Amino acid sequence: MIENEKVEELMFELEERAEKTLNALENEYLGIRAGRANPRILDRIEVEAYGGMSKLVELGNVAALDARCLQINLWDKSLLKAVEKAILNSNIGITPTNDGQVIRLVFPVMTEERRKELVKQIKKLGEEAKVAVRNQRRDAMDVLKKMKTAKELSEDMIADCESEVEKAVSATMGKLEAIVAAKEKELMSI
For the ranges 65-69, 140-144, 162-166, the lowest mean pLDDT is seen at 65-69
Of 101, 32, 35, 51, nearest to 72 by C-alpha is 101
Torsion-angle region of residue 151: left (phi > 0), alpha (psi -120 to 50) or beta? Answer: left
Higher pLDDT pick, 177 / 78: 177
What is the rounded distance in angstroms from the CA atom of residue 113 to the CA atom of residue 132? Answer: 29
Report the distance separating Cα 82 and Cα 80, nearest Å: 6
Q: Give the residue-averaged pLDDT of 162-177.
A: 94
pTM strictly above 0.95:
no
Q: CB-based burial of residue 152 (10 Å sphere; 0-12 exposed, 13-18 middle, 19+ buried)?
A: middle
Residues 93-134: pLDDT tens digits?
778 888 888 888 887 777 788 788 888 989 999 999 999 999
Handedness of CA 113, 119, 123, 124 (dihedral sign): positive
88-98, pLDDT tens digit by residue? 888 777 788 88
- Whether the predicted pLDDT of 61 surpasses 60: yes
d(CA 173, CA 171): 5
pLDDT for 35 equals 63
What's the rounded Cα separation, in Å, for the pair 25 and 40?
14
Q: Any residues with CB less than 8 A from the CB of 26 and at least 6 apart, and which?
A: 179
Q: What is the C-alpha separation between 140 and 181, in angstroms, rounded?
A: 27
Q: Which domains does the chain have, with CATH numbers?
A: 2-31+111-188 (1.10.132.20), 39-106 (3.30.1360.40)
15-49 pLDDT, tens digit per residue, is 999 999 999 998 888 767 666 677 777 778 888 88
